[in-house]
């Protein structure tokens, strides 16, 4: 049967209808708040960026954020939105002051879209503006204007207040993770010294900019004091640590460009060239950048990003009449970094020794790496370990943010997930038994151990996470002692050799139900004892209760419920207070008596259930 194609089939959507029908165009993926890049955080950012732009233009040193359950309130003390345009800026596409670069010269949002997307995707949205002894309010629901009226100024300070609630119809059962919000607000103050953000009563500010950012994100001191360089429209901070891999934090006009872009490419290239020129040696680029921890922030006029979510810079020039981004960064580092190394010979010597050490390690495992790549290629050709998906994170595929790799234990579990998965965005990697404890081992083991070599190859992270093939890396193991042990071994592996995978919010634990509670009409899947008891009360009578002992016991038809839109993911997070080296040494090192004593002291027996507190 052929679908009719006529004038009646052609529709014109109004602005809010289009946003609600195609939210991914405006905020990337939706998600439930488990991931850093889920849409609910972008809603906050879109509103918050306007307040930060006011600060950057010299108006308002404080921004207040209150998040109570699912209601978000953001109040700045800038100039306030011109009252006659209050409704327009919240509900008319391509409306805003940032088209006039004299007013907002180096802003993030230039397309007049962001706050409208927040409005359309919120069940309630209110914006108030106080300006020149007057006040005005506009109230919306899912983008529809409900009310507009004057407000009594009543001694209010100039500025704008926005209150919104993300719409459950769009985002489902979502939650805000405080650690993600704190990271976001810390980044804002690192980039805007003098700005104070008050989030639910907690104050964030920074005196030293990107230097504070490095110090906050390093779990152990750098090999040398961090190099901090500032110029007009550019700031960088650099050091080297003891970790494997490279760690970068990049920003444009205060926006965290988590996917990098032209400025980060230019920074890496310039760093290598300046260091080669300083030491007058043609070091391999990977040896110079091995274990580097660096942050770079630049300001660009009318920046071009590769998507509405603004996570990757596409601009090649710093302004209509300015130099290229590459030349701008190269010239800055050639002068400032070169001068710094000449003035600080102790730092220069430590850096040189680090580069030579990295060179020795690279050469020591070069032969092993070649054989390992050949093994991985052969294994992937025969599809022994990896069942891939069609979309990948390191492409421009619109599904890239949904791409997921499940790391499973055993054939039965991997078989269930493989049969249940979405082949477009979900891949499966099957482990054979328990992986090796990699604590205190060198990266040589990654290539010598078949499991880790193939996992590294599947993820495509040998040279860093820029080419990571999946946005979400999910450990999917049984919720028993063996499954917990495998989780710990895998987390140890990533912490030891690829910590930036965790720091950048890509690693998760899959939560699967412990119980199925059902009668003839309804079925509930329960993740905790509390949920099980609630389900029993809802069903009444004597429902059938099944305890899932392992993932392999869950049928593919049932598994679809747990890895679909209602999938529960628990992010693996790292904070400054998490001293990685000490933590790994305690849990994974050769100190069994200490661990045993800790377990005994924290053991609690309650109604025949053994629990371990704080572990």
- Residue from 416, 421, 426, 429 nearest 551 by CA: 416
Query: How many distinct helices (H) and strands (E) make up the chain?
Result: 21, 24
- Could you count the other beta carbons within 10 Å of the beta carbon of residue 477? 25
Q: Is 546 helix (H, G, I), strand (E, B) or coil?
A: strand
Return all residues near 398 (Cβ < 8 A) that are at least 6 apart. 24
Task: Calculate mean pLDDT across residues 430-449.
Answer: 86
Q: How confident is the model at residue 609 (pLDDT cuts 50, 70, 90)?
A: very low
Asked whether the predicted pLDDT for residue 402 surpasses 80, the reply is yes
Return all residues near 137 (Cβ < 8 A) that are at least 6 apart. 86, 126, 127, 128, 147, 148, 149, 150, 151
Asked whether the predicted pLDDT for residue 572 surpasses 60, the reply is yes
- Could you count the other beta carbons within 10 Å of the beta carbon of residue 599? 11
In the beta sheet, which residues pair with residue 298? 234, 252
Q: Which two tokens stand for residue 161?
A: 């207040």
Q: Give per-residue pLDDT as tens, 403-426.
A: 999 999 877 778 889 999 999 999
The span from the CA of 192 to the CA of 263, in Å, is: 19
Give me the domains of the chain, ranges plus CATH numbers.
16-204 (3.30.565.10), 210-360 (3.30.230.10), 383-512+549-578 (3.40.50.670), 515-547 (no CATH)
Q: How confident is the model at residue 101 (pLDDT cuts 50, 70, 90)?
A: very low
Q: How confident is the model at residue 104 (pLDDT cuts 50, 70, 90)?
A: very low
DSSP single-letter state for residue 313: B
Q: Looking at per-residue confidence, does 446 or 593 come out higher?
A: 446
Highest mean pLDDT among 251-265, 273-287, 437-451: 273-287
> Which region among 255-259, 364-368, 381-385 has the lowest average model confidence (pLDDT)?
381-385
- Could you count the other beta carbons within 10 Å of the beta carbon of residue 86? 21
**Residue 70 · residue 166 · CB < 8 Å:** yes
How large a percentage of the chain has pLDDT more than 90? 47
Burial of 266 (0-12, 13-18, 19+ CB in 10 A): buried
Highest mean pLDDT among 87-96, 380-389, 562-571: 562-571
Task: Calculate mean pLDDT across residues 439-456.
Answer: 87
Task: Calculate mean pLDDT across residues 308-333.
Answer: 79
Q: Give per-residue pLDDT as tens, 524-553.
A: 989 889 999 999 999 988 899 998 877 877
Asked whether the predicted pLDDT for residue 105 surpasses 60, the reply is no
- What pLDDT is attached to residue 595? 55
**DSSP, residue by residue, 118-163:** HHHTEEEEEEEEEETTEEEEEEEETTEEEEEEEE--TTPPSEEEEE
Q: Looking at per-residue confidence, does 379 or 403 come out higher?
A: 403
The span from the CA of 292 to the CA of 478, in Å, is: 36
Asked whether the predicted pLDDT for residue 199 surpasses 60, the reply is yes
**Residue 209 · residue 230 · CB < 8 Å:** yes
> Which region among 59-63, 350-354, 585-589 has the lowest average model confidence (pLDDT)?
585-589
**Residue 240 · residue 351 · CB < 8 Å:** yes
Asked whether the predicted pLDDT for residue 9 surpasses 80, the reply is no
The span from the CA of 564 to the CA of 543, in Å, is: 26
Asked whether the predicted pLDDT for residue 374 surpasses 80, the reply is no
Task: Calculate mean pLDDT across residues 477-504.
Answer: 87
- Only one residue has tokens 């679909």, namely 564
User: Rounded to whole angstroms, what are the CA distances from 497 to 158, 360, 465, 500?
Assistant: 50, 17, 12, 9
* 149 phi, psi to nearest 5 deg: -160, 165
The span from the CA of 64 to the CA of 188, in Å, is: 13
Q: Give per-residue pLDDT as tens, 297-320.
A: 998 887 777 765 667 777 677 766
Asked whether the predicted pLDDT for residue 6 surpasses 80, the reply is no
Task: Calculate mean pLDDT across residues 329-350.
Answer: 96
- Residue from 331, 339, 353 nearest 273 by CA: 331
Residues 27, 29, 31: CA angle, nearest 5 degrees: 120
- Burial of 392-405, coded b for 16+ CB within 10 Å and e otherwise, reads bbbeeeebbbbbbb
Q: Is 67 helix (H, G, I), strand (E, B) or coil?
A: strand
**Residue 390 · residue 370 · CB < 8 Å:** no
- Residue from 149, 145, 138, 119 nearest 18 by CA: 119
Q: Looking at per-residue confidence, does 573 or 169 come out higher?
A: 169
Mean pLDDT of the chain: 85
User: Rounded to whole angstroms, what are the CA distances from 121 to 87, 141, 227, 549?
Assistant: 16, 9, 43, 40
Task: Calculate mean pLDDT across residues 168-184.
Answer: 92
- What pLDDT is attached to residue 479? 77
How large a percentage of the chain has pLDDT more than 70? 85
Q: How confident is the model at residue 160 (pLDDT cuts 50, 70, 90)?
A: very high
User: At how many degrees (to 10) do helices 345-381 and 450-459 cross?
Assistant: 100
Q: Give per-residue pLDDT as tens, 456-488.
A: 989 999 888 888 999 999 999 887 788 888 998
């Amino acid at each position: 049967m052929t679908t009719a194609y006529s004038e009646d089939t052609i529709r014109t959507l109004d602005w809010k209808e289009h946003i609600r029908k195609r939210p991914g165009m405006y905020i990337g993926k939706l998600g439930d708040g488990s991931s850093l890049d889920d849409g609910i955080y972008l809603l906050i950012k879109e509103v918050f960026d306007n307040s930060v732009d006011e600060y950057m233009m010299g108006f308002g040193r404080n921004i207040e954020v209150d998040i109570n359950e699912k209601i978000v309130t953001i109040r700045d003390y800038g100039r306030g939105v011109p009252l006659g345009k209050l409704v327009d800026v919240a509900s008319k596409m391509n409306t805003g002051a940032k088209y006039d670069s004299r007013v907002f010269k180096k802003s993030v949002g230039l397309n007049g879209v962001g706050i409208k997307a927040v409005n359309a995707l919120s069940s309630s949205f209110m914006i108030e503006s106080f300006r020149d002894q007057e006040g005005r309010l506009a109230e919306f629901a899912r983008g529809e204007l409900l009310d507009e009226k004057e407000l009594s100024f009543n001694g209010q300070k100039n500025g704008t207040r926005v209150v919104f609630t993300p719409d459950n119809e769009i985002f489902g059962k979502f939650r805000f993770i405080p650690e993600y919000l704190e990271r976001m607000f810390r980044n804002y103050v690192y980039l805007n010294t003098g700005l104070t953000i008050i989030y639910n009563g907690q104050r964030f500010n920074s005196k030293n900019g990107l230097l504070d950012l490095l110090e906050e994100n390093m779990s152990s001191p750098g090999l040398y004091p961090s190099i901090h360089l500032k110029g007009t429209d550019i700031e960088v901070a650099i050091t080297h640590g003891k970790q494997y891999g490279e760690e970068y934090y990049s920003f444009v006009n205060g926006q965290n460009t988590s996917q990098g872009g032209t400025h980060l490419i230019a920074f890496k290239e310039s760093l290598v060239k300046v260091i080669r020129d300083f030491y007058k040696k043609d070091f391999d680029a990977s040896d110079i950048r091995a274990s580097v921890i660096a942050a770079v922030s630049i300001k660009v006029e009318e920046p071009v990003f590769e998507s509405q979510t603004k996570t990757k810079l596409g601009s090649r020039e710093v302004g209509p009449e300015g130099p290229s981004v590459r030349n701008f960064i190269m010239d800055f580092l050639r002068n400032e970094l070169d001068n710094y190394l000449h003035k600080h010979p102790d730092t220069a010597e430590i850096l040189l020794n680090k580069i030579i050490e990295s060179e020795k390690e690279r050469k020591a495992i070069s032969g092993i790496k070649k054989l390992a790549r050949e093994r991985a290629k052969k294994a992937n050709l025969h599809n022994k370990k990896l069942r891939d998906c069609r979309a990948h994170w390191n492409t421009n595929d619109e599904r890239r943010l949904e791409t997921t790799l499940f790391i499973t234990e055993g054939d039965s579990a991997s078989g269930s997930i493989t049969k249940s998965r979405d082949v477009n965005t979900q891949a499966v990697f099957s482990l054979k038994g328990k992986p090796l404890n990699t604590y205190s081992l060198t990266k040589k083991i990654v290539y010598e151990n078949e499991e880790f070599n193939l996992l590294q190859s599947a993820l495509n992270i040998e040279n860093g996470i820029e080419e990571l093939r999946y946005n979400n890396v999910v450990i999917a193991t049984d919720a028993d002692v063996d499954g917990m042990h495998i989780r710990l071994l895998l987390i140890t592996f990533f912490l030891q050799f690829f910590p930036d995978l965790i720091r950048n919010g890509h690693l998760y634990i899959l939560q699967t139900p412990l119980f199925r509670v059902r009668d003839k009409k309804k079925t509930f899947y329960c993740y905790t004892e509390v949920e099980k008891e609630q389900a029993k009360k809802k069903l009444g009578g004597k429902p059938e209760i099944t305890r899932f002992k392992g993932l392999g016991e869950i049928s593919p038809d049932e598994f679809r419920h747990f890895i679909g839109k209602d999938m529960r993911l628990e992010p693996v997070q790292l904070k400054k207070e998490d001293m990685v080296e000490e933590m790994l040494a305690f849990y994974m090192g050769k100190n069994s008596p200490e661990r045993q004593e800790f377990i005994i002291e924290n053991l609690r027996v309650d109604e025949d259930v053994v629990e371990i507190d704080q572990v």
